[in-house]
Structure 1
Amino acid sequence: MAAKFQVYKDKAGEFRFRLIATNGQTIAVSEGYKTKASAMNGIESVKENAPKAAIDDTTLT
């Protein structure tokens, strides 16, 4: 099974998504969106931009 995005409505009625790893653990959670379409656009943005994202390790001294 591959990782998956899960779209859901929170208690405030906003749409959110979470990225779930193959082992079932949640590895990322979105902000709240007013519309489902906006949440879906957020997923597409993560899919497009995450592979190019730099790592900012603030634990290094």
Structure 2
Amino acid sequence: MVVYPKFQVFKSLANSQYYYRLRAVNSEPILSGEGYTSKQSCLVAIASVKANAPYDFRYERKNGTANYTFNLKASNGEIIGRSENYTTSAARENGIEAVKRDAPVAAIEDLS
């Protein structure tokens, strides 16, 4: 049985870096991280996402032409997660609410 929400950690074949993606309860990807040179660094980033996700002021909302996204920032202002693209600001807000709800309790699945 597949359980969501969850963070998936994987290693890129293209650059050998570790990445994470957060999948929501509906299994859709809602947040992803940058590349990390070690799995441990990737896991530290996931811990930071779990700690910062509940706080609305940590989200930077971005508006484009029919393209709405958000970044999740750590207490030092660094981006620790980037959203998928949304076609409306309301859909983006739903994505933020999903990260707030799901990230703190999400399990970690190691695919590397």
Please, what TM-score do these two structures have when normalized by structure 1?
A: 0.80
Q: Structure 1: which 4+ aligned runs deviate by more than 4 Å?
A: none
Q: Which residue in 2 is equivalent to 1:49?
A: 102
Gaps of 5+ in 1: none
Q: Distance in 2 between matches of 1:15 and 1:52?
A: 25
Higher relative CO (Cα under 8 Å, sequence separation at least 6) belongs to: 2
Gaps of 5+ in 2: 1-51, 53-57
Please, what TM-score do these two structures have when normalized by structure 2?
A: 0.46
Cα deviation digits, residues 8-61 of structure 1 (max 9, x gap)? 024x540000101111110000011010010001000000011111111234xx
Identity %: 41
Q: Which has the higher strand share?
A: 2
